[in-house]
Amino acid sequence: MSTTDFSSLPLKPGLLENLSSLGYEQMTPIQAQSLPDVLAGKDVIAQGKTGSGKTAAFALGLLQRLNVKRFRVQTLVLCPTRELADQVAKEIRKIARQIHNIKVLTLCGGLPMGPQIGSLEHGAHIIVGTPGRVEDHLLKGRLILDELNTFVLDEADRMLEMGFQSAIDAIIDYAPKDRQTLLFSATFPTQIKSIADRIMVNPTMVKVESTH
């Protein structure tokens, strides 16, 4: 067994079977370097290009920890745009295919509030959204993060470029201190270092240049 086989990781059997049915056999370099720490519950900063497989690197961590019987928000993933949030939600649902009754909800700006409010009243395990809209739902008390265990910043550099820093800071105030924080980015400007210093604890740094 090679160390880049998913089966070398301490994953639930259902997740492993599903990965192989999806044709995911070998981890990509960023997955191989980040997943051991992600699964150990550590904070991780992972830098890698588009297409390097960053979504599965955090999706497997949050799905391994998720308690589907507890119908509360356990994970929040922030993305810069609605398109990216939709892609991430789709990939999480794909990897979670064998977990029954799992609810992944997207909360993005530029869409009507009504359906999102209705969905939040119904509940979710995983929220994927854009910072402004997520902050709005938190301020109005519609989204409760008391049981959050994993917080993910995806494409953090783009979120900062788009001016979401203050929304991210506001959102963090609603999250429990005892949580895992994962930060994914294509680049690592000083602004990212400063946000990481504020919201992460002893993060492991992973940097991968190539995609394969």
In the bound complex, what is the minimum distance in angstroms from residue 35's beta carbon to ligand ADP? 10
Q: Coil, strand, or helix at residue 182?
A: strand
Of 53, 61, 80, 131, which lies in the binding site for ligand ADP, with binding defined by CB under 6 A? 53
Residue 78 sits in the site that holds Mg ion (CB under 5 A)? no
Backbone angles phi, psi at 197, to 5 degrees: -60, -35
Residue 58 sits in the site that holds ligand ADP (CB under 6 A)? no
Give the sheet arrangement for strand 104-107, strand by strand. Answer: 104-107, 126-129, 75-78, 150-153, 180-185, 44-48, 204-208
Of 11, 44, 56, 167, which lies in the binding site for ligand ADP, with binding defined by CB under 6 A? 56
Closest residue to Mg ion in the complex (CB): 54
Tokens, residue 140 = 């109005």
In the bound complex, what is the minimum distance in angstroms from residue 30's beta carbon to ligand ADP? 7
User: Cα–Cα distances in Å, from 92 out to 105, 128, 174?
Assistant: 11, 10, 23
Residue 179 sits in the site that holds Mg ion (CB under 5 A)? no
Could you tell me if 55 and 192 are in contact, meaning their C-beta atoms sit under 8 angstroms apart? no
In the bound complex, what is the minimum distance in angstroms from residue 26's beta carbon to ligand ADP? 6
56 binds, among ligand ADP, Mg ion, none (CB under 5 to 8 A by kind): ligand ADP
> Which range, of 8-16, 22-30, 74-82, 123-131, touches ligand ADP by CB under 6 A?
22-30
Q: What is the per-residue binding string for ligand ADP in 90-119, x denoting contact by CB under 6 A? A: -x----------------------------
Residue 54 sits in the site that holds Mg ion (CB under 5 A)? yes
Could you tell me if 142 and 117 are in contact, meaning their C-beta atoms sit under 8 angstroms apart? yes
For 90, residues 6+ apart whose C-beta sits below 8 A from its C-beta are none
The site for Mg ion (CB under 5 A) is made up of 54
The site for ligand ADP (CB under 6 A) is made up of 24, 27-28, 31, 48, 50-56, 91
